[in-house]
Amino acid sequence: MRIIKVSDYKQMSQRAAEHVIGKVRSSDCVTIGLATGGTPEGLYKELIEDHQMNGTSYRCVKSFNLDEYIGLSKEDTNSYFQYMCSNLFSHIDISLDHTYIPSGMADDIQKECDRYENLIEEAGGIDLQILGIGANGHIGFNEPGTSFHSGTHTVELTASTREANARYFSSLDEVPRQAVTMGISTIMKSREILLLVSGKSKQEAMKKLVENEVSEQFPASILKNHPNVTIIADSEALELI
């Protein structure tokens, strides 16, 4: 894992954007794995600004999101579909037909998980996966204890993850208890991974990621076994290392 230390959130977002833009411009057809949460919002802002100023085109880009809440429809303002539209898709020239997010409303969720996993394979896999990290080491919605062999699957969200995400909802009660997420093995099949880490709330996670052994109790630790991982972290997140 290569760690790039930057001064703050803004710089993290800019460095990440340079990386993504470089990838998008380097090839006709790139498949990008996208993350949600607060961490990549700055990156998406930078991508939009670059698209408007420099014309970087996403017409040939395919995207696969990491996860979606179960029970939230595409129209729900808290669905990750809405998050992606308002934070990125509506502001760049990506075709919505090329953007994929698992459905949290499927009647048969297992079938939906299998369909999503197949879609990624049919697209030829993910060239660049963007990740954030949960304070408990989760990536996507793969909570501690998730098998490293997991493909796209359903998860029960932990109390701490629901609490951390409650800021987007009007009350904790409204935060869904389950989600569909790419599995650890799905994420690990990506050819390249870019992990973004910012702020005090991620200090402990960052310390564990760097210092601890690879363990299913800390999902992000598996990234140590991937051949092409870049972490862009700000100085606050790296303070305990």
The contact set with ligand GLP (CB under 6 A) reads: 35-39, 66-67, 132-134, 140-141, 161, 165
Respond yes or no: is residue 228 known to be catalytic: no
19 counts as catalytic: no
Query: What are φ and ψ of residue 229, in 5° steps?
Result: -115, 130
CB 51 within 8 A of CB 93: yes
How far is Cα of residue 71 from the mean position of the Cα atoms in its chain?
20
- 37: alpha, beta or left? (left if phi > 0; alpha if psi -120 to 50): left
Work out how close the CB of 80 gets to ligand GLP at its nearest, in angstroms, rounded to a whole number.
8
User: Residue 35 or residue 193: which is nearer to ligand GLP going by CB?
Assistant: 35
29 versus 172: smaller Cβ distance to ligand GLP:
172
Which residue has the closest beta carbon to ligand GLP? 132
Indicate left, alpha or beta for 137 from its phi (over 0: left) and psi (-120 to 50: alpha): left
Active-site pick, 68, 143, 192, 234:
143
- We find the least distance from the C-beta atom of residue 168 to ligand GLP, in angstroms, to be 9
Least distance (Å) between residue 60 CB and ligand GLP? 25
Q: Between 60 and 207, name the residue whose CB sits nearer to ligand GLP.
A: 207
* Closest distance of CB 8 from ligand GLP, Å: 15
Cα 95–Cα 97–Cα 103 angle in degrees, nearest 5: 125
CB of 9 to ligand GLP, least distance (A): 11
Distance CA 156, CA 143 (A): 8
CA distance 197 to 231: 7
The smaller minimum CB distance to ligand GLP, of residues 56 and 161, is found at: 161
Query: Is 108 annotated in the active site?
Result: no
Nearer to ligand GLP, 37 or 183 (CB): 37
Q: What is the DSSP string of 199-223?
A: SGGGHHHHHHHHHSPPBTTBGGGGG
- Alpha carbon distance 175, 182 (integer Å): 19
Q: Of the residues 136, 142, 153, 192, which is catalytic?
A: 136
Residue 143 annotated to the active site: yes
- Nearest CA-CA partner of 81 in 60, 92, 96, 59: 96
Catalytic residues: 67, 136, 138, 143
